[in-house]
Amino acid sequence: MNFEFIENGTVTTPKGFTAAGVIGGVKSSNTTKRDIMMIASEKICNAAAVFTKNLVQSSAVTLSKKHLENGTAQAIIANSGNANTCNADGMEKAEKMCCLAAENLGIDESDVIVASTGVIGQAIPIEPFEKAVPEIAKIMSKDGGSDAAEAIMTTDTVKKESAVKFELNGKTVTIGAIAKGSGMIHINMGTMLSFACTDAAISSDMLKSALKEAVEVSYNMVSVDGDTSTNDTLAILANGLAGNEEITSRNEDYRIFTDALTALCKSMAKKLAADGEGATKLIICSVNGAKTTTEAKGTAKAVICSSLVKAAMFGSDANWGRVLCAIGYSGCDVDITKVDVAFSSSAGCIEVCKNGVGVDFSEDDAKKILLENEITIKIELNDGNGSAEAYGCDLTYDYVKINGDYRT
């Protein structure tokens, strides 16, 4: 392992980045939570992003795609409380948000990435931004990453932030990230927003390539409820202040950078899954022995998305038949007669199925294992070398309660 996680790391841990988040009142004037934030680099950055594949997209997504066409950016402005989606004046408001950020940061409007999250179909008020953005610009600091992470939370119960460091050409390089996402998460690049910053010197093309690699085995392997958001955005800025030789090809430095970015993204993906709306448990599905990596991914995702499996995990019920059922309808090329299943947690590991057939096991021991707050469903397909992990959570009564009155 060529990287190390940084204690209390966040998006502003890399050199040259500042951030802040404030109470703006986007959803309600009497709110007590931070809901508008900005992140900025002291110099122009190479940049890359991936976005939702939902055909219904926020105006923020459309505008950010346009601003990133040249592969550069210097700042991010984002809000919670309103998704700015399906609104007649959505693009006008998104452009105004970028304009306010640019004016107060002294940068070009086209170098601002914009993102929003919250209720769909309600006009987003611009007045909170007109008041808050000048304030944010004045208080942005190296220590503002955690406030920025808080400002993008909706039904999240905890902030998601982390950072890693590693060496390139004798230089210490850092990548930091924040994310939000609790419900409407079935990422296919939620509502999922994630912003990463790095002081690595890396070209826009290589940054985009590294991001796509990382996303495929991290964020895109998360599902909370099967709904793909209209606003999913994952953006990364690289300002080069670490002083390493710029990565311009898929060389060894590229591999080290990508491995570190992937580890960071996987860490954030687990945080998202564990904080699913109403969730009490992080569920990891680990698949090995598939014919291909693609088959492993499909199998893992099918299990993690199964409402019946998720409900069984909530009840700490070792109902392995539901796991096989999900594998069976996954559409993957699997020989069910070769499938082994086990449940694992910090309380132990227990095999429940061998060669597609149930085996004798202690229900009491299985219950103890499944009562833990992080559970791994271990699947061995015994048919090749493909492997993958997917991340999800249990399905609880509170999920329905939260989404039954989300708008109020």
By annotation, the residues acting in catalysis are: 191
Q: Where are the alpha helices (DSSP H) in 89-158?
A: 90-105, 127-139, 145-151
Q: How far apart are CA 276 and CA 222, in angstroms?
A: 10
Residue 316 tokens read as 């700490």
Between helix 320-329 and helix 293-305 the angle, nearest 10°, is 130
Residues 178, 290: Cα–Cα separation, whole Å = 33
Q: Is the dihedral of CA 285, 288, 293, 298 positive or negative?
A: negative
Contacts of 87 (CB under 8 A, 6+ apart): 59, 93, 121, 122, 123, 124
Other C-beta atoms closer than 10 Å to the C-beta of 28 total 11
> What's the rounded Cα separation, in Å, for the pair 149 and 161?
7
Q: Give the closest residue to 195 by CA, choosing from 397, 377, 21, 394.
A: 21
Residue entry with tokens 């934030």: 37
Nearest residue to 211 via CA among 238, 247, 236, 179: 236
Structure-token pair, residue 57: 């997209």
Who contacts 193 (Cβ-Cβ below 8 Å, separation ≥6)? 78, 115, 117, 152, 179, 180, 181, 231, 232, 233, 234
**CA–CA gap between residue 406 and residue 400 (Å, rounded):** 10
Instruction: Please tell me the number of Cα atoms within 13 Å of 239 on its side-chain side.
Output: 25
Dihedral sign from CA coordinates of 380, 381, 384, 385: negative
Query: Residue 214 is inside which H or E element, if any?
Result: helix 204-216
